[in-house]
Amino acid sequence: MNSKILPSDLLRYEGCTLTGALSVTMQVQDAVTVIHGPAGCAHHNFSLLHATAAEQDGVRLPPLVPTGLLENEIIFGGEEALARTLRRVADDGPAAIFVLSTCITETIGDDVESVCACDLGLPVIPVPTAGFLGGAFSDGLNMALTTLATRVGNDDVQERTVTVIGEKNLEFEVEENFAEVERLLGLLGVRVDVRFVRKMRFADLARVGSSSLNILRGPDLIPIGEALKRRFGTPYIDSFPIGLEGGVTFLREAAASLGISSERAVETETAQQAEMLSSFADMRGAAVSLDPLTLGSLEYAPVRRVMAALDLKADTGDAGLSLPYSPPVGTAGIRRLLHRWRRRTHA
């Protein structure tokens, strides 16, 4: 859902399918991901994932192992190097191994799937992620989620729970956005069991199919929502709530899917939204100066309605190019946006 900037800039934002898939597999915390390719393909991603993790919730070294191919493996084939790496990684006893391919191994035709099919006593799951085949970050992300979705089960769960699907693990406010969804569900008295896939253990896959409701991060994940609906009959909501009215709609939809009443939850939330807006009364009538990070927010109707409610005007004078922007999730998302604008206005 990144906004497109200039044609010449697009390639900077599209990224590589490998990185997209890694953003998912890295979150299975007791699994190891093997990148079948030169060490550099792993290193770029390791740095990015490591830095992002440090920013979000502390240093956690990504469990990432490259096969580290050199010219000899390219000439004579890299399948043995992969088999060797898989055996070594399996010895450490992870819950599962993901195997992600790269441009060079797809070019020389290494048969990654057949190497992964040999029995190591644990699931070895290949995901084809050669960037040169086209596709972008989001395609890699979806492919990894889809691959994992084929492995979920519906073990018995005693209570009514919700699964959150496809969080954007590298996005700026990933934990804040999840917290908002969790808070809203809390108003309805339901709990998130599995985050598919974030801070999850491999065994958690067995419970994904038994939740009462799936909540997708965004509509691009509908194919996964549909697939789980076909298999387990689980209804889904196709997006995190966007803005204030999104939060209210979310409560109503979730309650309807769960067969419970939303009345009290909506009442509580509406009151809280009004209180939140009134706490920004000091900004009423102001011209807010937008920065590259928030410029994209103007594209979203929920943001424009909040601006209208507070009689805000947008000063885009020095904002420059707009950066890829995810719309604000729920009441908390709007509050953070207004805080940011207030800081810039008073700066």
Partner 1 sequence: MHAYRKAEMKQIALYGKGGIGKSTTSANLSAALGETGLDILQIGCDPKHDSTRMLMHGAWIPTVLDLVRERGDAGIATDEVVFRGYAGVRCVEAGGPEPGIGCAGRGIIATFQLLERLGALDGDVIVYDVLGDVVCGGFAMPMREGYAREVYLITSGELMSLYAANNIAKAIVRLSKRSRQTCALAGVICNAKNMDGEEELVREFSSRINSTMVAYIPRSRTVTLAELNRQTVMEYAPGSEQAGVYRRLAGDIMKNNRTSIPTPLEIDELENLALRFAQV
Q: In the complex, which residues of this chain contact partner 1 (CB under 8 A)? A: 71-79, 107-110
Minimal distance, residue 102 CB to partner 1, in Å: 14
C-alpha 144, offset from chain centre: 11
Minimal distance, residue 252 CB to partner 1, in Å: 58
Residue with Cβ nearer partner 1 (110 or 204)? 110
Helix axes 243-258, 330-346, angle to 10 degrees: 170
Minimal distance, residue 107 CB to partner 1, in Å: 8
Whose tokens are 């804040």? That residue is 176
Q: Which H or E run includes 95?
A: none
Minimal distance, residue 87 CB to partner 1, in Å: 19
Residue with Cβ nearer partner 1 (117 or 203)? 117
Burial class (CB in 10 A: 0-12, 13-18, 19+), 318: exposed
SS3 of residue 145 by DSSP: helix
In whole angstroms, give the CA distance from residue 167 to residue 164: 7
Cis peptide before 24 (omega within 30 of 0): no
Whose tokens are 């799951």? That residue is 125
Residue with Cβ nearer partner 1 (110 or 253)? 110
Minimal distance, residue 76 CB to partner 1, in Å: 4
Q: List phi, psi (to 5°) of 32.
A: -120, 140
Residue with Cβ nearer partner 1 (20 or 37)? 37
Residue with Cβ nearer partner 1 (51 or 76)? 76
CB 34 within 8 A of CB 45: no
